[in-house]
Amino acid sequence: MRAAVRLWARRAAAAGLVLLTGCSGGDGGDGGDRPPGDAAPPVSRARLAVGPGDGAQDVPVDGAVRVEVAEGRLLTVRLTDGRGADVPGTLTPDRTGWTPDRRLATATAYTLDAVAEDGAGLRAVQHAGFTTVAPEHTFVGFFSPEDGSTVGVGMPVTLRFSHPITDRAAVEKAIAVTADPPLEIAPHWFGDQRLDFRPRAYWPAGTKVTLLLRLKDVEGAPGYLGTQDKDVRFTVGRSLVAAVDLDAHTMTVREDGRVLRVLPVSGGSPEHASYLGAMVVSERFEVTRMNSRTVGLGDEYDIKDVPHALRLTASGTFVHGNYWTDRAVFGAANTSHGCIGLADAKGGSDDSPAGWFYRHTMVGDVVEVRGSRGEPVAPDNGLGDWNLPWRQWTAGSALAAPGVH
């Protein structure tokens, strides 16, 4: 029995040590194996209470974190997230309580450490690690251009949200777009699921752009929280702008202001006039299928191997190679269903006008179409942002001051 008593005493001593270093101390009783005559170490009378407890999961982000002390006062309280960033908080005037100043982030690990002391200056400590609850409903912003990409001077920053946004101001505050060298950049909402950013004029060649997404835990709609905390960086390449004159049936291609080539084109026929205005290349296809059913024109055409296709609008306008039309048409007549056609060969020829233009073009390059016939392209049809004057563009911000744009 004597061995069993010694074993129990050792366990009791170990438990007392945990209370002292991990909680608030005990009554300083017998230490078990302490040699006779040794004095018990002094123990703080301060009693700390910390919530949530160590190891807690699915902790609510509001109102769950608290620190209280009885028979003492708090010296320090530190709440940090998984990255080591401090969460600010406030002590009560008598230093017996502490609460965080803001709601916590969802699905995040936190560490809470508190130190208190009693009237004799003896300290007590408490530690807790816990994880907050994951949100039930979330939204994300699908962005373009991609991180690390190089794009043309007409490429806006576009975010398409996975859920309709009702608090546009809150979402807009959580997003920033910056440029190096600095530029004035403004946002514009197209409906409740698309937010674009652009400068007043095309990006200068060589500009480095950063998109800062700080949407994590932003409530974009009732019960829907954002999940993204991300930086996206891209570079603007050389300036390439192609000016299409539908009346002259030409495309003048300029790189950094210098004319590279003038190409003969065929635009939309009088029955299917091409859109007018500035359009931006959003996709590139060496070969693609074009079916009139997809653009509401019934069975008028179905071409399975259209070469060197560059998308200009979401509604189906392309600059593309054309091998099925007599070459005499290019530079002389407008015969298409709205696209800008360039002469090409079946299967696509690198030496053709279409092949040459395709090789010289990247996503974000601009095609400016003008002519005496045709409707202006809608700003939200593809990447037609540049067709809105700056005053109208800035008025589309949820944070725009009335009358100041």
- The catalytic site residues sit at 320, 339
In the structure encoding, which two tokens stand for residue 68, read together? 């209280």
Q: Give the helix/strand (H/E) hosting 5.
A: helix 2-22
CB contact set of 2 (below 8 Å; sequence gap of 6+): none
Report the distance separating Cα 375 and Cα 144, nearest Å: 27
Closest-CA residue to 242 (of 307, 153, 334, 348):
153
**Strand order through the sheet with 109-117:** 73-81, 109-117, 123-131
Q: Residue 249's CB: how many other CB atoms inside 10 A?
A: 19
* 344 alpha-carbon distance from chain centroid: 39
Report the distance separating Cα 383 and Cα 173, nearest Å: 23
DSSP bridge partners of 159:
143, 195
Report the distance separating Cα 71 and Cα 260, nearest Å: 83
233 in the Ramachandran plot: left (φ > 0), alpha (ψ -120 to 50) or beta?
A: beta
Closest-CA residue to 156 (of 388, 392, 359, 400):
388
223, 136 in Cβ contact below 8 A? Answer: yes
Angle at 365 between CA 361 and CA 369, to 5 degrees: 105
